[in-house]
Amino acid sequence: MLSPDAVGEVCIVVIGIGVIGCGYWGPNLLRNFYELESCRLTWCCDARPERLRWVQGRYPTVRTTTSWEELLRAPDVQAVAIATPVSTHARLAREALRRGKDVLVEKPLTASVREAEALVALAEQERRILMVDHVFVYSGAVRAVKEVIRRGELGDLYYFDSVRVNLGLFQHDVNVLWDLAPHDLAIMDYLLELEPEAVMAVGACNVGTGIENLAYVTIRFAGHLLAHIHVNWLAPVKARRTLLCGSRKMIIYDDTEPSEKVKVYDRGITFNGDQSLIHQALIEYRTGDMYAPRIEPTEALRRVCGHFLECVEARKAPLTDGEAGLRVVRLLERAEASMRAGGVEQRLVA
Amino acid sequence: MLSPDAVGEVCIVVIGIGVIGCGYWGPNLLRNFYELESCRLTWCCDARPERLRWVQGRYPTVRTTTSWEELLRAPDVQAVAIATPVSTHARLAREALRRGKDVLVEKPLTASVREAEALVALAEQERRILMVDHVFVYSGAVRAVKEVIRRGELGDLYYFDSVRVNLGLFQHDVNVLWDLAPHDLAIMDYLLELEPEAVMAVGACNVGTGIENLAYVTIRFAGHLLAHIHVNWLAPVKARRTLLCGSRKMIIYDDTEPSEKVKVYDRGITFNGDQSLIHQALIEYRTGDMYAPRIEPTEALRRVCGHFLECVEARKAPLTDGEAGLRVVRLLERAEASMRAGGVEQRLVA
Amino acid sequence: MLSPDAVGEVCIVVIGIGVIGCGYWGPNLLRNFYELESCRLTWCCDARPERLRWVQGRYPTVRTTTSWEELLRAPDVQAVAIATPVSTHARLAREALRRGKDVLVEKPLTASVREAEALVALAEQERRILMVDHVFVYSGAVRAVKEVIRRGELGDLYYFDSVRVNLGLFQHDVNVLWDLAPHDLAIMDYLLELEPEAVMAVGACNVGTGIENLAYVTIRFAGHLLAHIHVNWLAPVKARRTLLCGSRKMIIYDDTEPSEKVKVYDRGITFNGDQSLIHQALIEYRTGDMYAPRIEPTEALRRVCGHFLECVEARKAPLTDGEAGLRVVRLLERAEASMRAGGVEQRLVA
Amino acid sequence: MLSPDAVGEVCIVVIGIGVIGCGYWGPNLLRNFYELESCRLTWCCDARPERLRWVQGRYPTVRTTTSWEELLRAPDVQAVAIATPVSTHARLAREALRRGKDVLVEKPLTASVREAEALVALAEQERRILMVDHVFVYSGAVRAVKEVIRRGELGDLYYFDSVRVNLGLFQHDVNVLWDLAPHDLAIMDYLLELEPEAVMAVGACNVGTGIENLAYVTIRFAGHLLAHIHVNWLAPVKARRTLLCGSRKMIIYDDTEPSEKVKVYDRGITFNGDQSLIHQALIEYRTGDMYAPRIEPTEALRRVCGHFLECVEARKAPLTDGEAGLRVVRLLERAEASMRAGGVEQRLVA
């Protein structure tokens, strides 16, 4: 937020921000936009009056409303951030884009591919910024992993394996796949930059809600590259651990570690010799040093909000634009279809 | 081994043991049988003379041979332990049973269901003991988990999730599924005592040997119970971690922990209310104490060898008998078939 | 803070709170008093105008001043919380008590025993509440440890060993002893409820500031009970680990653990037999289960603030009253004296 | 041990080794000397016939005796390894040296400085090898730490802090100081290569044996360098953790870690500015990468035995010679004196 003592002639662009949805994640958006210098948090909308009273207590300068239409009509709202239930993302984002607002949407972008495609098309047509909050892509740890890959340290990629489990908040509207897997899929999409060929998923509904609380997702890429994701709302302890293995090095990214979240291991095997004559002697193990790159401590969501404001100001495409959101939604939709079909592989053709 | 100073009239049964195969695991069998009181390690066979010289240096009282037929003909061999490559298990065990020997076979019991079925039938016909070395079933940690289940602490079972990864010994003859998954399947078979209904598996061959170094296996049981196993020879650090979740409690069994390998968590959720009206308020989280039962420190293989000798002496069926070995081989064969078919589910019908 | 929609005749006592000092810890006090229902955060004082601007942005309803005298004169301040540098605690608390305010002071209570004694006497004379913010005493973890001790599970106490190290904020005004050890001494005071007999300390000034960044403190109690504290601003990773060992059980309290901060081990040795004949056979080891009691997740400082308000309302002595603060300051002063004398033991006589 | 199939004219020196003492540590010496190529394990002596029977069962080619004099008279013993209670080290080593044997003695070298000085003088006079088994000095981890120091990565040394605790074997003849601290003192002696100036120690006898089960030792060096050691037989879990902090980097060596035992942190603070004006702004924190050097996996005792044989053959002084043993015994004796005097500092003058 612009410091209140910036008086006199200050010629900077101050973007008016409206936040729609103030449940679990919305307060984090409010806090970050409130503290950023290049914008002014002007409006907040939520259907529940008690949430708006909470906002008023915390941020007395912010106007509140139970009507998203009022927020979208407000002249001091140039950009909106949407943190409502997934099923409402498409409609709210569409209305905002139509009214000429730039839009930041919580993950997943929408509840279906059709909706996501329509949003991407609309944003392009309206020449508005459409960004999805794939928050882990902006974390210091994932950025450090990306740097290791960019430097070519991993060699050929072998597999991506991610586990995200805890005794989590059961959602009513979405299953664990749509709740947790967007994180892993967004990380995978950002790190690998590859088109998946097929996806399979199985899940379990253990507690009688008919909503999956556990899912395993397998994603095939060209060659032998495989990705696998385990998401689970019903585990006794929290685990958030990604293995990324290449021909030259291997990475463990453990988000629950207080420090050293990313470890890069100079380990692997070398297979020397022709394939008809496979003898153990031809396999050589390599065990070298490990290093843990320094992780930039800035809060990931702070970077999300800052990047959104930069894109709004400079009219440039965000790192996690509508297309990125669409790619993740496509994987989720196909994984859901596989899960419904008992694990039958679903092709992802361009 | 019988202590050499047991002189005079000592009327005990001393079982003569022959060990076939002295590669990676054989020396552990030699050491344990050598140190046990109720048997005498009499013979060791290996095709490689340098391995036999090593045995002679360590255990000068043990006779050695490169011919398993010579070992099986020896009058001071009542029982044999087979620790050779998997492809040879069936033939060696068959020859031993036919010659009236009791047999302990390394996991997996055989390389195919057909072979395992034949062995089980032969052992029954010859009235010989047939035991498979599902070594983890005899570990203090898995026994402690079994006790928790036996006492009914877990409630209804929700899922079994096992990860067994490390920078492992690449095998030439079998893939990672046949090498590592027998451990998890044997543990699952022992703990759950349930008939699986179907199995799916995917794998990856990353290093150009045409042998899978990574596999994910999913097993369905009646109801919503799901088991999932991740085995991997190409991970930077060792992990051996099993989650076992029930409606009342949850267990983490981490075999890499120096102590507290088994942790029992009084955690979970309670779903109150009818299924048509799913509101978050109806889900209650429960977080209570955790406890780590004391783990009996005896080496698992020591118990395997001791149990085998007891069964030989008392002519009783082992805990991990031929049937247990067959059940694991059946899962492996079906998982392999699924992997070959690109992950298509394979039914396991009685 | 009282919810703004509590309208009409609501007959509750609402305590007006003033916070003096808004540096490192002050904002945490502001946030907690702001959110608590039974008080109203009315004033905040800090010598630095930029800190007050920050307060105005966050809490627009709070009045700010650079003059603590103005704050103490304000009619809507019944109680004050002091979070200024240690050297100023005594004077500010004295002025507040003299003006009839109840007072919560950051740890350590004062910079000297003489000052602490004077404050305790003044509070008694003025019949005002004097409380010291020994924050860890109010943490769920320390309270869980206390419960284990209260139930007599530990048996006779053998030792208390505490390590509190990290790459910490170097202070200019106090050394590591006065900065970090108050936490461990307050925890020890609360858990043991015993009078120490003597204290020794050594320290090191490694970085040329003449201020100790590392200190080891040893405290003797009657019998064989020993306490030892290692505080350190210059360690590569954070460690906060306390061992508390008794004749029957042992506790590890590790505050850096995300869950299971407190572990109670049923381990120990039993010494059977007369003391003249010490043979190894007479020592028996005991290794039983471990359990980790559930930790109440409420923020410790929330409980501190709530307890202070309760004591103010009910005119009762706080758990960590002036006497508790004095006991900790006495240990610090004697430890400092020992450190200045090169580690010579200092008696603590009543 | 020389391989039995080395036939014909093989002109190598084969050193005959006798091991005195076959209790807790002796079997490890037997195993290592038995397996090394350049020596022949010829004799083993122990006062307890049952231990000798155990040796005969394991190593039938080794001759056994209950008389150390018989072992020392044997013509096929050129060198002896002594693994008896500490109180007997001096006498046995003296007798062996007098009979012209080279000698490897378990840590600590002797029970007193006087004894150690006499042994060092005798070995020099007899031109015999005298080596002490400071086994951790030969571990891959400590060698890796030494390499980091050798490369100057740490900068100026600030402190050495070592914790070695577990639920340990209570000894009858020595306290925890003489049992465990030799490891830390030997590591410190090897890594720092500095003369300590003074030592202080406190201890506790908690279990009624009159033997300390817990001790804290502080060692002062020139400048501000401080070393501190915590040894403890009565802790619920094993910890073996050494912090070594310098002006440029910091090391954590955790011997209980399965891999990455040594971590080197590029962390610290920089103090810029003159000492009269200490402002927080002048202290800069530095947080860079961490790396874990590859640790050579060879068993430390294997290297101890191999190094002893090399020194015997080449007539060169061992890395951990009698002088190193004497330096450690001197620290132990002075620490014990301090402990007896209630923690009074003891000077160590050359």
Q: With residue D292 as reference, give the H or E element that holds it.
A: strand D283-292
C326 part of a folded domain: no
Question: Could you tell me if D249 and D315 lie in one domain?
Answer: no
Q: How far is B282 from chain A (nearest CA, A)?
A: 10
Strand residues in chain B grouped as ranges (E): 15-20, 39-45, 63-65, 79-82, 102-106, 130-133, 157-167, 198-204, 214-220, 226-232, 234-246, 250-254, 262-271, 283-292, 346-347
In a domain, B325, yes or no: no
> What's the gap in Å between the CA of B166 and the closest CA on chain D?
12
Asked if D288 is an interface residue toward chain A (Cβ–Cβ < 8 A), one would say: yes
Instruction: State the average pLDDT for chain D.
Output: 92
Residue pLDDT, tens place only, A75-113: 999 999 999 999 999 999 999 999 999 999 999 999 999
CATH code where residue D253 lies: 3.30.360.10
pLDDT at A190 over 80: yes
Q: Is residue D229 part of a domain?
A: yes
Give yes or no: residues A220 and A269 share one domain: yes
Residue B350 has pLDDT above 70, yes or no: no
3-state secondary structure of A73: helix
**Structure confidence by residue, pLDDT tens digits, C88-120:** 999 999 999 999 999 999 999 999 999 999 999
Average pLDDT, chain B: 92
Separation in Å, CA C127 to CA C74, C82, C97, C130, C307: 20, 19, 9, 9, 18
Does A174 lie in the same domain as A274? yes
Q: How many helices and strands in chain C, by DSSP H and E?
A: 9, 15
Given an 8 Å threshold on Cβ–Cβ distance, is C214 in contact with D204? no
Task: Give φ, ψ of B117 to 5 degrees.
Answer: -60, -40
Q: Does residue A56 sit at the C interface (CB-CB below 8 Å)? A: yes
C37 confidence band (pLDDT: 50, 70, 90): confident
Q: Rounded to whole angstroms, how far apart are CA atoms B204 and A226?
A: 7
Residue with tokens 């704050």: C71
Q: Is the pLDDT score of B276 beyond 60?
A: no
Domain identity same for D157 and D177: yes
Confidence (pLDDT) at C2: 45
Confidence of residue B219 (pLDDT cuts 50, 70, 90): very high
Using the predicted structure, report yes or no on whether residue B111 has a pLDDT greater than 60.
yes
Q: What percent of chain C has pLDDT over 90?
A: 82
Which amino acid is it at B117? E
Which region among B80-84, D59-63, D241-245, D277-281 has the lowest average model confidence (pLDDT)? Answer: D277-281
Q: Is D194 on the interface with A (CB under 8 A)?
A: no
Contact D287 A294 (CB under 8 A): yes
Domain check: are B110 and B246 in the same one? no
Is residue C124 located within the same domain as residue C109? yes
Residues of C in contact with A4 (CB under 8 A): 53, 56-57
pLDDT at site B12: 61
Chain A contact present for C235, CB below 8 A = no
My answer on whether C268 and C180 are in the same domain is yes
Residue of D260, D289, D292 lying closest to A294 (CB–CB): D289
Do C145 and C89 have their domain in common? Answer: no
Number of structural domains, chain C?
Answer: 2
- What distances in angstroms separate CA B47 from CA B67, B94, C4, one per listed residue? 7, 19, 86
CA A69 to chain CA mean position, Å? 27
**Beta strands, E only, A128-210:** 130-133, 157-167, 198-204
Under a CB-based contact definition with an 8 Å cutoff, are residues D46 and D52 in contact? yes
Closest residue, chain A, to B231 (C-alpha): A161
Q: Which residues share a beta bridge with D254?
A: D241
User: Is residue C344 over pLDDT 50?
Assistant: yes
The pair of structure tokens assigned to B135 is 């070594």
The beta-carbon neighbor of A260 closest among D288, D290, D293 is: D290
Residues B119 and B223 in one domain: no
Tell me whether residue B171 is in a domain: yes
| Overall average pLDDT of the A313-318 stretch | 97
Nearest Cβ partner for B238 among D4, D61, D258: D258
Average pLDDT rounded to a whole number, residues C314-327: 98
Residue C202 sits in the same domain as residue C287: yes
- CB C224 to CB D218 under 8 A? no
Q: Provide Rg for chain B, Cα atoms.
A: 22
Cβ distance B251 to B243 under 8 Å?
Answer: yes
CA distances from A107 to A175, A231, A298, A302, D80 (A): 14, 16, 20, 16, 71
What distance lies between CA B51 and its chain's CA centroid? 25
**Coil, strand or helix at C126:** helix
Q: Give A19-28 pLDDT, tens digit per residue.
A: 999 999 999 9
Q: What integer pLDDT is reported at residue D208 of this predicted model?
A: 78
Grouping H, G, I as helix, E, B as strand and the rest as coil, residue C51 is helix
How would residue A168 be classed by pLDDT, with cut points 50, 70 and 90? confident
Which chains lie within 8 Å of chain C at 3 or more CB pairs, if any?
A: A, B, D
For the cut 50, the answer to whether the pLDDT of residue D82 exceeds it is: yes
Given a cut of 50, is residue C6 above it in pLDDT? no
Asked if D294 has any chain A CB less than 8 Å from its own CB, the reply is: yes
Kindly report the average pLDDT of chain C as a whole number. 92
Cα separation of D67 and D74, whole Å? 11
Residue A325 lies in a domain: no
CATH number assigned to the domain comprising residue A315: 3.40.50.720
Q: Is B234 in Cβ contact with A216 (below 8 Å)?
A: no
pLDDT score of C3 more than 70: no
* CB-closest option in C57, C237, C259 to A259: C237
Query: How many CB contacts within 8 angstroms connect chain A with chain D?
Result: 24
Torsion of CA C193, C198, C202, C205, to 10 degrees: 70
Q: What was the pLDDT predicted at B1? A: 45
- C231 shares its domain with C284: yes
D91 found inside a domain: yes
Q: Measured between beta carbons, which residues in chain A are less than 8 angstroms from residue B343?
A: 200, 218, 343, 345
pLDDT tier, C276 (very low <50, low <70, confident <90, very high otherwise)? very low
Q: Does A154 share its domain with A278?
A: yes
Band (pLDDT 50/70/90 cuts) for residue A272 is low
**Complex ipTM:** 0.93
Q: What is the distance between the alpha carbons of residues C328 and D83, in angstroms, rounded to a whole number?
A: 48
B224 interface with D at CB cutoff 8 Å? no
Mean per-residue pLDDT over chain A, rounded: 92
Question: pLDDT grade, residue D349 (50/70/90)?
Answer: confident
Average pLDDT of the residues in D85-106? 98
Q: What is the pLDDT of residues A287-298, one digit of tens each?
A: 899 999 999 999
Contact flag A209-B278 (C-beta cutoff 8 Å): yes
For residue D238, is pLDDT > 70?
A: yes
Contact C275 D210 (CB under 8 A): yes
pLDDT at B4: 47
pLDDT above 50: residue B277 = no
Q: E strands, chain C, where?
A: 15-20, 39-45, 63-65, 79-82, 102-106, 130-133, 157-167, 198-204, 214-220, 226-232, 234-246, 250-254, 262-271, 283-292, 346-347
The H-or-E segment that residue D150 falls in is: helix D140-150
**Looking at residue B11, what is its pLDDT?**
54
Say which residue the tokens 């004749």 belong to: C247
pLDDT attached to residue A37? 86
Which residue from A60, A238, A256 is facing C60, i.e. has the nearest CB?
A: A60
Q: Look at residue C269 in the predicted model and tell me its pLDDT.
A: 84
Instruction: Note the pLDDT of residue D272.
Output: 61
Nearest-CA distance from B241 to chain C in Å?
18
- Would you say residue D326 lies in a domain? no
Any chains having at least 3 CB pairs less than 8 A from chain A are B, C, D
Looking at beta carbons, which residues of chain B come within 8 Å of D60? 60-61
Residue closest to A81 by CA, chosen among A118, A107, A113: A107
Is C325 domain-assigned? no
pLDDT level of residue C154 (50, 70, 90 thresholds): very high
Do residues B189 and B234 touch, judged by C-beta distance below 8 A? Answer: no
Residue A1's pLDDT band, with cuts at 50, 70 and 90, is very low
Domain that holds residue B314: 4-136+299-320
**Is the model's pLDDT at A122 over the cut of 70?**
yes
**pLDDT > 90 in chain A, percent:** 82
Q: Is A43 a residue whose pLDDT tops 50?
A: yes
Side by side, the strands of the sheet bearing A79-82 are: A63-65, A39-45, A15-20, A79-82, A102-106, A130-133
**Alpha carbons B335 and B202: distance in angstroms, whole number:** 8
Which pTM does this prediction carry? 0.93
The answer to whether residue A48 neighbours chain C at the CB level (below 8 Å) is no
Structure tokens at D245: 């902090």
pLDDT per position as a tens digit, C176-216: 999 999 999 999 999 999 999 999 999 999 987 789 999 99
